[in-house]
Amino acid sequence: MTTDFTATRALFHIPEGMIYLDGNSLGPMPRAAAARVARTVTDEWGDMLITGWNRAGWMAQPTRVGDRIARLIGAEPGHVVMGDTLSIKVYQAIASALEMNPTRRVILSDSGNFPSDLYMADGLCRTLGQGYTLRVVAPEEVLDAIDETVAVTMITEVDYRTGRKHDMKAITARAHQKGAIAVWDLAHSAGAVPVDLAGCRADFAVGCTYKYLNSGPGGPAFIYVAPRHAEAARPALSGWLGHEAPFAFDPDYRPGRGIERMRVGTPPVLQLAALEAALDIWDMTNMADIRTASLALTDQFIAGIEAACPTLELATPRDHDARGSQVSFRHPEGYAIMQALIAHGVIGDFRAPDILRFGFTPLYIGADDVTRAIEILAKVMAEALWDRPDYKVKARVT
């Protein structure tokens, strides 16, 4: 099956005249999402009330949806579950992983990781005390920094600013060779690049769904635990829905089977309904086709901007193997440039101090969009449209 991207594109709502290159921050709305969520509100919550937990399948929704995501990230079926936010899932994963390596005290990460991952890890280390430490190195130093002191590696596969992609297989292998547990954050990978968690022998993985997977604002996160750890990992956030028998209301906690134990509280049923509408589109495609199309789009954008805008400095690797599904350029006036570009209908975003960031998502972005985006950015730069007072509110960082 080859993906028909013309067909998938028609299934998203993009406002008229807008070129949306920010799906790496918040994916656009699948046209079916509104009806799907409305049905969940009216027909399920409204009419089924409490019986919706069984009749509408809300209780099993986190694992049912998890299985649909498992296919996109190379996870074994039955080993992904939805819930909470990505930061909470990061905490769950590293807390469990640290306990699996009790003689060591170091979480290794890199400075390209998303700050919330670093904050959550640092917060966990402070809670644990006893010498637990977060060690942060430069992205290119990760492989060499994995030594026998490292308990857990916590790496985000694709850098949120530059789109630089780590080598999951090599880092995981090195972690295992040195006796460390590998935790992967797939925030900018799931739906963006092919991921092979099982093939890479990742130990834990986490990710969010409101970026490339298009679940909408505040969509739930997911967590993967490798089958070989699934019955051993102790959940630090031991909520009732991760209990072996939640409705027995036992006073003592007994972890549920496998990935079920990583559930915590009541699942966000309305957000999951929106995600299910998006996954209906994902079911029409495969990550190999997505990757081929994504690389063509990012190659086109890099070539076009470099030819037309010499003052923009590429921050994204040219090497396909080291690139996610976004392209970033640096410019000291990046904030004003992005404001001007947005005002002209091309939506990217800005990340301090100087990064212009553009996400490319073949499901709804085509070569024509890229051509047009290049033309508009070229015009903004050539005519210095950004160099006006209304765009130069440089103090503000959004």
How far is CA 299 from each of CA 54, 106, 367, rounded to the nearest angstrom? 48, 38, 11
- Maximum CA pair distance of the chain? 69
Q: Is 384 in the site for its own copies (CB under 8 A)?
A: no
When the beta carbons of 270 and 376 are compared against its own copies, the nearer one is 270
Q: What's the rounded Cα separation, in Å, for the pair 237 and 250?
A: 17
Scanning residues 1 to 40, which ones bind its own copies (CB under 8 A)? 13, 15, 18, 20, 22, 25-26, 28-29, 33-34, 37-38
Closest CA to 346 of 329, 367, 326, 370: 370
Reported residue count of the chain is 398
DSSP for residue 21:
-
Scanning residues 287 to 346, which ones bind its own copies (CB under 8 A)? none
Cβ-based neighbour number of residue 78 at 10 Å: 16
Please state the closest distance from residue 201 (CB atom) to its own copies, in A.
Answer: 26
Total number of residues that touch its own copies (CB under 8 A) = 88
Q: Which of 84, 157, 185, 354 binds its own copies (CB under 8 A)?
A: 84
β-strands 133-137, 326-330 pairing? unpaired
Quick check: is 364 catalytic?
Answer: no
Q: Is 85 in the site for its own copies (CB under 8 A)?
A: yes
Please state the closest distance from residue 288 (CB atom) to its own copies, in A.
Answer: 28
Contact (Cβ atoms closer than 8 angstroms) between residue 102 and residue 286: no
Q: Is 88 in the site for its own copies (CB under 8 A)?
A: yes
Q: Which residues neighbour 15 within 8 Å (Cβ) at sequence distance 6 or greater?
A: none
β-pair partners for 205: 184, 224
Q: Is 127 in the site for its own copies (CB under 8 A)?
A: yes
User: Which position among 160, 210, 350, 391 bears the catalytic label?
Assistant: 210
Q: Is 208 in the site for its own copies (CB under 8 A)?
A: yes
User: Which position among 357, 358, 369, 391 bears the catalytic label?
Assistant: 357
Scanning residues 94 to 123, which ones bind its own copies (CB under 8 A)? 95, 111, 114-116, 118-120, 122-123
By annotation, the residues acting in catalysis are 114, 185, 210-211, 357
